[in-house]
Each structure stands twice: as structure tokens, then as C-alpha cells.
Structure 1
Amino acid sequence: MNKLIIGAMALAILTSCGVRQNDSNNKTEENMEQLKLTFTPAENVRREKVHFKNRFGIELTGDMYIPTSLKAGERTHAVAVCGPFGAVKEQASGYWANHLASQGFVTMAFDPSFTGESSGEPRYVSSPDINTEDFSAAVDYLMTRDDVDPTRIGIVGICGWGGIALNAAASDTRIKATMPVTMYDMHRVNANGYFDAEDSEEARKSKREAMNAQRIKDFTSGKYALAGGLPDDRPGDDAPQFFRDYWDYYKTDRGYSVNSLNSNGGWNTTSALSWINTPILAYAGEIESPVMIMHGEKAHSRYFGEDAFKLLKGDNKQLVIVPDATHCDLYDGGADHNMIPWDTVISFLDKNLK
């Protein structure tokens, strides 16, 4: 059962890659010279690094992507982007922010608390509450910028951050449009397992016992066990297709980043405890602002988005299924970068961030 816990926290990959100990004094996110984007910035966009705090006092770091055509003193619509779960802003969120900026939006891709260039100790922790707050903190920051219209801010959440984006939209009435992309419900996958195969009191008890046993080990050693990062060697054909898809993104030149949890050692293992006990979509039905959930037709995670869509109410909610796309195809358009229906994305955001 512990292997399933570990897998869920690494983008819910079913195959665990073992447990490592985190040396809190060896922070690779400080090796700034190694930070590289996994995409080429658009020529009509400039990038700017920013820092801001959430209400827990954790300083977050983001990359702003600003259209060069924006005139001094002009305010326009803005979008904050985060995800995938276990990724950093140099990966898919930056890819999305860069493209949206090339189409006229002021955007920000940011590292969540405890990861990447953002602060927070211990490292590599996730939290339903704190990570939802991270989105609202990004909105706080964007509202104070001279180039952003504070009444026209939306959010994009990729993978596990899709469910977090819905939770943020249910809480933060300043968010005018929300777009979960290839989403996971991180509560559901941790509490119930894949396709709800572990949805029982007995299974959850086993998970809790394993993680609480790990807690005392971490406390005693002064180090936090990490698990769930992808292996160095590509999985064989007997591995699930989505696991191989993750490897093809996170462990190759297409998506590898030195700061990425999924590209390297994985999450703090005990993070899953809070996700199991926190149903983040409890108030999704109370979101009044527009929502568009986008999923790939062939994504193993498609059921998360479809079931989340059933919770939404009102006539300003959309579910878009992208033909032939897998889960990772919507990170960056796939290997050929042609799988994201940008016209649909831009139309939704333009319409609802007027």
C-alpha cells in the first residue's frame, strides 16, 4: 500500500521509485545557473522575475510574461498559471504563460510553496490549504501591478493544480475565469486510489498507518523521506502507458528541469496525509464565475475532469475533450507541440476576462 501512496504523490504514478532521504541543506533550487526553460520564449514577450508572499508568510517566486506590445500605463487581462503537480515554472506552466502572453495577456507562471525557487521549509511539501492559498496570493500580486486590470484576472491549473484551481475559484471571488487543464483531483486519487479502486475504510487506514510510521522516522532522523520521482531509465513496455508518457516529458530534453520534483527525487512522502482528509471539490458547485475544464480524449485522468464538471452549476461552465490527446499532451502540446487547441483557450479567456 505504501507504494500506492508514493505513486499518488508523484502525479499519481502507480509505480513507486523507492524512498530517498532529503538533505535539507542541499537545495538544488539555489543553483540558479542550472535553471533553464524547457521551451523557447516568444519573440513578442519579455520575462520578469517577481516575488510575493502568501498569507502564511511564504515567499513565492514567479516568472511574469508580458507582451512587448503593451504600452506604458496600459492595463489588460491577466492569468496566473501553476502546475503540473510536482512541476516548476520552467516547465508546462511557463509554456502556457509564454504562449498566452504572446496572444496579449499579462501572465505569471509561479512555483508553489516549498518547491522550485519559492520558499518554505521543509522542502517538497504539498498542502490542500497552502497550495490553494498560493493561487489567491498570485491574484493578490497581479492586482497590484500597473499593467493589470484588477477586475480581469483568471487562473489556469494544470494536472493536480486543476483541482486546486477549482478549490481556489470556490474560495476567491476575485477570480473571474478558471481553466483546469488535464486535471487531477488530488484528494480523490490519494484517498481512493486510481479509478477509486482503494475507496474503502480499510485501504485508507493502511495508508495512514504507513505515513504515520514514516512521520516518526522523519522526526527522529531530522530528514524527510522523498519518493515518487521518475527513474533514470525509461520504463519498459509492461509499465502503464501514462507512466511512460510522464517519463517522456519529465526525464527528456522536452521537459526535464533541475528543480522539478517529478524529474528528480519526488515529494515529501507524508504530504499525502492532508490530501486524504481534505475533499477539495466540496464547494465546486458554488463557483459562480466561468469555468472551462479541458481534458484529453485518451487521458487516463479524464474521469477526474468529467466528474468535476458534473459538480459545476450554471450555464457558464464548459467541458472540452481534445481528440486523441493524452494527459501529458496538454502540458506542452505533446512531442510535436500541436495538441493544445489554443483558439478554444484564447476564446474562453478573452470572452470571460473582458
Structure 2
Amino acid sequence: MDNYIFDLDENITRTAVSYTNRYDIRISADLYTHMDLDASEEHRALIIGAPYGGVKEQSPGLYAQILAQRGFAVLTFDPSYNGYSGGEPRHLSSPEIFVEDFSAAVDYLGTREYVNRESIGAIGICGSGGFALSAAQVDPRIRAIATVSMYDISRMQLESITGSEEDRTQALESIAEQRYIDFEAEAPVLTGRGAAIGFDENTDPVAREFGEFYSTPRGYHHNALSQFTATSTPAFVNFPLLEHIEWISPRPILFIAGTEAHSLYFSEDAYASAAQPKELLTVSGASHVDLYDKTELIPFDKIVEFFTTNL
């Protein structure tokens, strides 16, 4: 059962597709188009990446359907090692491969006859915001980028071990020892679940916010565990995703974040580091997860205007 968190609009065609990335990992994806799309002409196209720990049946598909209604051809995908995409071990988290997944999506879209190769953009939600920007730093085929509730996962992982030198050393030694355990086990150990289950007023506010989406019918999908392999942190620490964000210029970036989002500082700091043209749009009263699925808060008109103007 696919368990999409939204109903498919009768005017939208959703086609299951697959292709391989540079590492020969089979990517499971959905292509959204309006039923009236003229395949004999070239169209603007968008790639939408899932929140960190999420899958294409959740927020990416919701965004894709609405943007397909506005005339874009839109591709959503499950990251490598996650969802219905290939790769072993399951739920592995890799900065390089998650960035590669965006370029592989460009490969696919740019070889469709009805897609204009000069008019491909990307939207990254949560952690995919950082991955989309990182891909765009070195892949000029991505002509315009929007992020929504962006997380810089490499910075987040670095912050998780930041403290005294002793704290950092202990954290890295613990992860290194875990590699021995994983090597001899049938499957690697996963991190704790980032989205709380059975939460109440005493639950950590961030864990509860994610739990209200991932752990309830609102956003639940059996492939979205909000967990990854526990030994992934060092790879992200060694791979600063946004180190060359200024290279994206003169291609435009639109950062979108809620004024009440715990993650707002990621967008603010990335905006400060990026070169022009760039824009930071804050959504009054919105939290981080509100922009996953609350369509009354998501600024779709602005998103459409941004990509129509810049693709």
C-alpha cells in the first residue's frame, strides 16, 4: 500500500518511474504532470526532495501535485537507501549520495523530450534544502533553487558533537566503536527516532513537532522512520554541505521558513552566506513542520512566481 498523505487530483497524472544514480543505485520516483500537458512542447520542470527522514509519498508529493496544477512537470523521489529506492544497508545516511540524488534527478528530467533542459529547478524541504543547494553548487544544470524549512544536516551533525575537545573525542570514539559492532551484525544500529511516539506536554518540543507529523495519520508513512544509521555522523562532519554556496550565483535562491521554526537560523545563515540574487521569505506564525503540509501557509503563489520568472 502506497499510503500517500494526500488524495490525487483528478486532473493530475502521477507516474511511477525509476532510474539509477551515479552509484548505480536504483531510485524510486514519481512524476507529476497535468493531464493537459502537451508532450510535444518543452516545459519547465522541478525536482522536489523530501524532508530528512521523509519519503516522496509525503510532503514532496503534496508540493508536486499543486505545482503540476500550475503547469510544471515535477519529479519527486525517495533518497538512496530509503523508501522504495535501492541501496543497502537500509536507512543509511550519506551527504555525498543524497546530494548526488538531486543531480541524478536532473539526469532523468533532462532526458525527457517534453522538458526544457535550460529550465530545471529544485525545491528542497528540510534536510533536502541543504542537499539541493549543495548539488547546485557544482551542478549548473539546476537553474533555480528554493528551500523550505531548510536544515543543514552537516552543520546539525557537527553541532551534535560540538562541545569541549573531550566531548568531541568521546563522541567520535563511540561512533568508531559502533562500526565494529555494525560490521559483525546483520544490520547496522539506527539512531533514536527523531519523531516522538506517544508524546505529551512533557515531550521535547522539537521531537513532539516531528511526532505530530510522522507518528500520526497526518503524515505517517511506513517508510519514514525518522531514523538513520548511527555511524553516519562523521561523514557529514567531513562534508560541509554549503561550503561553496556563493558558487550558485548568478542563479537565484529562494529561502522559505516559518517565523516560529526552530530551524529558522539555518535559512538565515545560509541566506547571509549566499551571493545575489537571493531572497529570504518568512511565513508569519509558521513552525518548521507547518510548511510540510499546511497548504494554507505554504506560499505556493510565491514559489510559482519564483520559478516562472527564473526558469
**Does structure 1 residue 320 correspond to structure 2 residue 281?**
yes
Query: Which of the numbers 247, 250, 254 marks the counterpart of 1:292?
Result: 254
1:19 corresponding residue in structure 2 = none
- What are the Cα deviations for residues 110-143 of structure 1, in whole angstroms up to 9, with x where unaligned? 0011011110111111111111110000000000
2:102 corresponding residue in structure 1 = 135
1:242 corresponding residue in structure 2 = 206
In the alignment of these two chains, the number of paired residues is 310
Within 5 Å, which residues of 2 pair with 1:45-64?
45-64=12-31
How far 1:230 moved relative to its partner?
5.1
Q: CA distance change for structure 1 residues 342 and 231 in 2, over 3 Å: closer, same or farther?
A: closer
| Cα distance in 2 between the residues matched to 1:71 and 1:213 | 56
**Does structure 1 residue 303 correspond to structure 2 residue 231?**
no
- Runs of 4+ aligned residues of structure 1 deviating over 4 Å after TM superposition are none
Q: Which one has more relative contact order, counting CA pairs under 8 Å at least 6 apart?
A: 1
1:261 corresponding residue in structure 2 = 225
Query: Contact (CA 8 Å) 1:242, 1:327: kept in 2 or not?
Result: no
Give the AA of the match of 1:168.
A
1:344 corresponding residue in structure 2 = 302
Give the AA of the match of 1:318.
E
Give the AA of the match of 1:352.
N
| Cα distance in 1 between the residues matched to 2:99 and 2:211 | 27
How far 1:238 moved relative to its partner?
2.1
How far 1:272 moved relative to its partner?
1.6
Q: CA distance change for structure 1 residues 106 and 204 in 2, over 3 Å: closer, same or farther?
A: same
Query: Which of the numbers 170, 191, 194 marks the counterpart of 1:206?
Result: 170
How far 1:234 moved relative to its partner?
2.5
How far 1:94 moved relative to its partner?
1.1
Q: Which consecutive residues of structure 1, in runs of 5 or more, have no partner in the other structure?
A: 1-33
Q: CA distance change for structure 1 residues 187 and 232 in 2, over 3 Å: closer, same or farther?
A: closer
SS at structure 2 position matched to 1:117:
coil
How far 1:277 moved relative to its partner?
1.7
| Cα distance in 1 between the residues matched to 2:164 and 2:43 | 48
Query: Which of the numbers 138, 156, 176 marks the counterpart of 1:171?
Result: 138
| Cα distance in 2 between the residues matched to 1:280 and 1:291 | 16
Within 5 Å, which residues of 2 pair with 1:27-46?
34-46=1-13
- What are the Cα deviations for residues 327-347 of structure 1, in whole angstroms up to 9, with x where unaligned? 0011112xxx31101111111
Q: Kindly, what percent of the aligned residue pairs are identical?
A: 40
SS at structure 2 position matched to 1:347:
helix
User: TM-score when scaled to structure 1?
Assistant: 0.85
- What are the Cα deviations for residues 173-202 of structure 1, in whole angstroms up to 9, with x where unaligned? 010000111011111111113xxx935433
How far 1:231 moved relative to its partner?
6.7
Q: CA distance change for structure 1 residues 285 and 232 in 2, over 3 Å: closer, same or farther?
A: closer
How far 1:59 moved relative to its partner?
1.0
SS at structure 2 position matched to 1:226:
coil
**Does structure 1 residue 107 correspond to structure 2 residue 74?**
yes
Q: RMSD value over aligned CA atoms? A: 1.4
User: TM-score when scaled to structure 2?
Assistant: 0.96
| Cα distance in 2 between the residues matched to 1:231 and 1:287 | 33
- What are the Cα deviations for residues 145-169 of structure 1, in whole angstroms up to 9, with x where unaligned? 1221111000011101111111011
